Amino acid sequence: MSFKQKRLSDSLQKRRLLCQDINTIQQAAIASINQKNNDWDIALSDNLLFDQAGLQALQDALASYSGNAGELHFKLQLSEQAVRDYYSHSTFLQTDGSVLLPVKAIRKGSSQSDSIETLNVAIAELTTKINYPLSLTSADINSTPLGLLMPYSCDHDYLFANQVALFSMLNLHIRKSPLNGLRGIFSRRKISLNQRVALAWKKVAKNADIHPTAIIEGSVIGEGCRIGAHCVVRYSILGKNVQLHDGAKVEYSCVDDNSWLMHDLVLYRSLVESDVFLIHGPYQFSYFQKQSAAFASIMMDYRPDNKPIRIGTANGVKDYKGRFLGALLEEKAKVYGGTLTTPGITIPAGKEITVGAESVTKAKDLIN
């Protein structure tokens, strides 16, 4: 069994996964898989985002196959909640709720006349019940795959892929840390053992400057980071030289190199690329590409009418059926104080949105 991804698409080459180059992290995932069966060559498309756990799920599906087909295709089977939150907009989503993966397995020595079959791929999920305040919405279930297999169809996929890969990475590291398990066992917090163990794990660069009042839980802190007083970093990754000023809070997010998050800012389930500047906030379920910035703006991430959030893809506007999705700021886009953006909106590269009659008219043209 041999996994190969010959190259990355132009889009994937420009972006990052868990604050690393996508090609680096995906080639490491391929190298980490113990490829025991030499009967198959598995071709991974240039637009597929994956991690080690995702490849393991493909390998497990293939290992369980005992048929005689010469070529195999793969469908990802996930819960309704996981599909809704991470794949509902995808151009690879099938009518049966599965995701057709751009992956082919070719049996060595097969001919074109051999049959083609499709295998189902299963990935374990972390499922959590969320009791939202009734003033916001009814109780819901979040279910996140613990392995990444996500074909790219639009830039929002980088936000979703980083969310999945973050949980997958934490699951892998926590399971490999017996000492961390002991820390969780002896924690006095009134939460489940699994939560105590997860929150007890962290990986902090030796030269990171962290104020003694800051809280770091279940997170990776990169080299040269400066984290101020009373900051909170929980279930997140900070790249190199990230600046968190006093009171800033980051949860379930990735913040890449040289980005600044100013005082008392809240960043939740978001993706921040390098050299981004964010002030005020909060910013939730949003994606900030390189050198973008947001100043005291309100980025709506919720539709109270329960209608799908509409997002742009290469194949036209699609309905995203998850409950929450904020803005996508493309490279060097800036949203200035006093502006209000709609859920799922994309601010084009280099665009600056300000409050004023002329700017409001232009902003309307961006709303899906």
| All structural domains of the chain with their residue ranges | 2-122, 173-364
Q: Summarize pLDDT for 141-172 with one digit per residue, the tens.
A: 999 999 999 999 999 999 999 999 999 999 98
Q: Summarize pLDDT for 207-225 with one digit per residue, the tens.
A: 999 999 999 999 999 999 9
Strand ordering across the sheet containing 260-261: 209-210, 226-227, 243-244, 260-261, 277-279, 293-295, 334-335, 352-353
**CATH class of the region 173-364:** mainly beta
Cβ–Cβ under 8 Å, residues 287 and 328: yes
Mean pLDDT computed over every residue of the chain: 91
Q: Summarize pLDDT for 226-253 with one digit per residue, the tens.
A: 999 999 999 999 999 999 999 999 999 9
DSSP 180-230: HHHHHHT---SS-HHHHHHHH-EEE-TT-EE-TT-EEESEEE-TT-EE-TT
Q: Summarize pLDDT for 27-78 with one digit per residue, the tens.
A: 999 998 866 667 889 999 999 999 999 999 999 999 999 988 999 999 999 9
